[in-house]
Structure 1
Amino acid sequence: MNHLLNQKSWRFIDQSIVALNRTPLESFAMDDTLCHLVGQGMSDPTIRTWVHNETIVLGIQDHRLPYVQEGINFLEQRGYQAIVRNSGGLAVVLDSGVLNISLVLPEKDNAISINAGYDAMVDLVKSLYPEIQDDIKAYEIVGSYCPGSYDLSVEGKKFAGISQRRIRQGIAVQIYLCIEGSGSERAELIREFYQLSLKGEKTKFVYPDINPTVMASLSEILNREITVYETVLNLQKLIKFNGDMKLQNLSSEETEYYSYYLNRVFERNKKMLNSND
Structure 2
Amino acid sequence: MREERSILYQKTWRIIDHTSMGPQFSALQSFATDDTLCHIAGQGSSVAIARAWVHHHTVVLGIQDSRLPFLEKGRQYLEDNGYRAIVRNSGGLAVVLDTGVLNLSLVFPEVDKRIDINRGYDAMVELIRYMFRAYDVEIEAREIVGSYCPGSYDLSINGKKFAGISQRRIRNGVAVQIYLCVEGSGSTRAELVKQFYSIAKENVETKFVYPSIVPEVMASLSELLQIELTVQDVMLTFLKAIQDHSDSIYSSQLTEEEASYYEGYLIRMQERNEKFIK
Aligned to 1:112, the other structure's residue is in SS state coil
The counterpart of 1:227, out of the listed 222, 226, 230, is: 230
Q: Distance in 1 between matches of 2:135 and 2:164?
A: 17
Q: Distance in 2 between matches of 1:8 and 1:84?
A: 35
Q: Distance in 1 between matches of 2:134 and 2:13?
A: 25
Deviation at 1:143, TM superposition (A): 0.2
For 1:101, the equivalent position in structure 2 comes to: 104
State the Cα RMSD in Å.
1.3
8 Å CA contact 1:11–1:248 kept in 2: the answer is: yes
8 Å CA contact 2:121–2:176 kept in 1: the answer is: yes
Q: Distance in 1 between matches of 2:107 and 2:136?
A: 23
The counterpart of 1:47, out of the listed 47, 50, 60, is: 50
Aligned to 1:188, the other structure's residue is in SS state helix
8 Å CA contact 2:127–2:241 kept in 1: the answer is: no
Percent of counterpart pairs with the same letter? 57
Mapped pair 1:17 → 2:27: no
Deviation at 1:67, TM superposition (A): 0.9
8 Å CA contact 1:12–1:247 kept in 2: the answer is: yes
Uncovered stretches (5+) of structure 2, i.e. residues with no partner: none
TM-score with structure 1 setting the length: 0.96
Q: Describe how 1:1-277 pairs up with structure 2 within 5 A.
A: 3-132=6-135, 135-243=138-246, 244-274=248-278
Q: Distance in 1 between matches of 2:214 and 2:30?
A: 29
Deviation at 1:109, TM superposition (A): 1.4
8 Å CA contact 1:2–1:123 kept in 2: the answer is: no
Deviation at 1:241, TM superposition (A): 2.7
TM-score with structure 2 setting the length: 0.96
Q: Distance in 2 between matches of 1:216 and 1:75?
A: 20
Q: Distance in 1 between matches of 2:272 and 2:206?
A: 24
> CA-to-partner distance for each residue in 1:16-44, whole Å, 9 max, x for gaps?
11412111000000000000111111011
Q: Distance in 2 between matches of 1:78 and 1:133?
A: 37
8 Å CA contact 1:67–1:198 kept in 2: the answer is: yes
Q: Distance in 2 between matches of 1:174 and 1:108?
A: 20
8 Å CA contact 2:137–2:157 kept in 1: the answer is: no
Deviation at 1:273, TM superposition (A): 2.0
CA 1:151–1:90: 2 relative to 1, 3 Å: same
8 Å CA contact 1:36–1:168 kept in 2: the answer is: yes
Deviation at 1:253, TM superposition (A): 2.1
Amino acid at match of 1:140: E
CA 1:241–1:223: 2 relative to 1, 3 Å: same
Q: Distance in 1 between matches of 2:21 and 2:73?
A: 28
Aligned to 2:166, the other structure's residue is in SS state strand
Deviation at 1:134, TM superposition (A): 5.7
Deviation at 1:2, TM superposition (A): 6.0
Uncovered stretches (5+) of structure 1, i.e. residues with no partner: none
